[in-house]
Structure 1
Amino acid sequence: MPQEIDIETAFVRHVRRRGYEALKLVLASQRGWPDRTCPLPGGRICYIELKHPDGTGRESAQQRKTRTWLEARGHPVLVTDDLETAKMWFDEQLEIARAL
């Protein structure tokens, strides 16, 4: 079974093949930030939190609070343990951003 890092690496490759970046931001003063920040056309940004594929990964209370805060400001956030779901979701977000 793949590890969380394997899914994250494959997701980053997927995003880069489309000409974009999936940035890993390390914020010293802010816990709970999503794993990857993806700048999109038109100034849009989407965020993804990747969990371990064995189902043991859970969104922490701080992650949930951060996700809610981002979504309230119009930023799409996905929490998933599935690579294909992550790839399809990113492609959808990219399509939406390009259409605006």
Structure 2
Amino acid sequence: MRERDIEKYLRDQVRGVGGRAYKWTSPGNNGVPDRIVLLPGGRIAFVELKAPGKKPTALQINQQRYIAGLGMPVVVIDNKAGVDELIRKMQSQGGLQQWQ
């Protein structure tokens, strides 16, 4: 399975529960997560997608730590089950809370 397959699955599953999974590019800020996931009720998560078994780079890890330090949930997903778990966790928590 390729990263883009997992990314498409994420977009489709998030859309299916009434949310959005925006592609995030931030010029001058390399290493930011791939997607910002928004679900109804004020739920947000930053998602780095990887091919199965692949790990984030040091730059990506630094960006993830910074975002998490601001109180925002950040997750790395490398399979479809991870997408399903993300959505389940986001839906079960109150808005704007870190669920990790």
Q: TM-score range by the shorter chain?
A: 0.7 to 0.9
Q: What is the CA RMSD across the aligned residues, in angstroms?
A: 2.0
Report which of the two has the higher share of helix.
Answer: 1
Task: Name which of 86, 93, 97 aligns with 1:96.
Answer: 93
Alignment-mate amino acid for residue 31 of structure 1? N
Cα distance per residue 1:28-85 (max 9 Å; x no partner): 11111111101244544211111112x2x22111110111111111111111212112
SS at match of 2:36: strand
Alignment-mate amino acid for residue 95 of structure 1? S
Match of 2:3 in 1: 4
- TM-score, length of structure 1 as denominator length: 0.84
Match of 1:36 in 2: 35
Give the deviation of 1:27 after TM superposition. 1.2
Task: Name which of 76, 79, 84 aligns with 1:82.
Answer: 79
Match of 1:14 in 2: 13
State the identity as a percent.
32
Q: How many residues align?
A: 97
SS at match of 2:7: helix
Separation in structure 2 between the aligned mates of residue 40 and residue 34 of structure 1, nearest angstrom: 17
Task: Name which of 61, 64, 85 aligns with 2:61.
Answer: 64
Ranges in structure 1 where 5+ consecutive residues have no aligned partner: none
Separation in structure 1 between the aligned mates of residue 88 and residue 21 of structure 2, nearest angstrom: 13
Separation in structure 2 between the aligned mates of residue 71 and residue 62 of structure 1, nearest angstrom: 14
Match of 2:24 in 1: 25
Ranges in structure 2 where 5+ consecutive residues have no aligned partner: none
